[in-house]
Amino acid sequence: MSMILDQQLLLSDKQAITASAVSTNTIDLTQARDPGPGDSLELVIRVNSALTGGTSVQFAYVTSANADLSSPNVIVQTPAIPAASLTAGSEWLRVQVPALSLDAQRQRYLGVQYTVAGTFAAGTVTAGLVADREAIVNYPSGLNVGGF
């Protein structure tokens, strides 16, 4: 099953991560609160092109009272991930986002914070809310399936 990306729900679209930053986009929860009935959405962060040159990155799902995500409230974060592990196609945060409502923990704007140790020379990341995530199984080269 392929992951379906909605442009309105993308927080980072192949965003270059060379220094600490926040996602290029945010979602205003006062405007996008009711996705309709069904399963909850998931926040997915995936490396598009390998991050090279730095030491590590920590990814965080945050909310803030400000659109620029200043003074963020961290909802979930990863530990510091070593640069060698930040390979193309790797997925580093996959978490269910509860009903898009405001409370003491979830403030008006939703986004992602990237905390970098060292300076990365290259690397891009895509992050967004999705209804379903990709479930690709990579098989070894030359695998014989069903005698074909």
Which pLDDT belongs to residue 31?
Answer: 76
25: domain range? 7-130
- Residue 138 falls inside a structural domain: no
Decide: 15 and 122 in contact? Cβ < 8 Å.
Answer: no
CA distances from 135 to 2, 91, 139 (A): 7, 11, 13
Domain count, the chain: 1
Q: How far apart are CA 96 and CA 18, in angstroms?
A: 27
Tell me the C-alpha distance between 60 and 88, whole Å: 19
Element (H, E) at 125: strand 122-130
Domain-embedded: residue 137: no
Token pair for 58: 């920590």
Domain contains 29: yes
Q: Is residue 143 part of a domain?
A: no
pLDDT of residue 20: 96
- Does residue 145 lie within any of the structural domains? no
Asked whether residue 2 is domain-assigned, the answer is no
Q: Which pLDDT value is given to residue 102?
A: 56
Q: Supply the CATH number for residue 75's domain.
A: 2.60.120.1110
Distance CA 62, CA 75 (A): 5
85 Cβ contact partners less than 8 Å away, ≥ 6 residues apart: none
Give me the tens of pLDDT residue by residue for the chain, a chain 148 residues long.
345 667 778 999 999 999 999 999 998 888 755 555 566 778 889 999 999 999 999 999 999 999 999 999 998 899 999 999 999 989 888 887 766 555 656 788 999 999 999 999 999 999 998 876 556 555 666 666 665 5
What per-residue confidence (pLDDT) applies to 72?
92
Q: Is residue 81 part of a domain?
A: yes
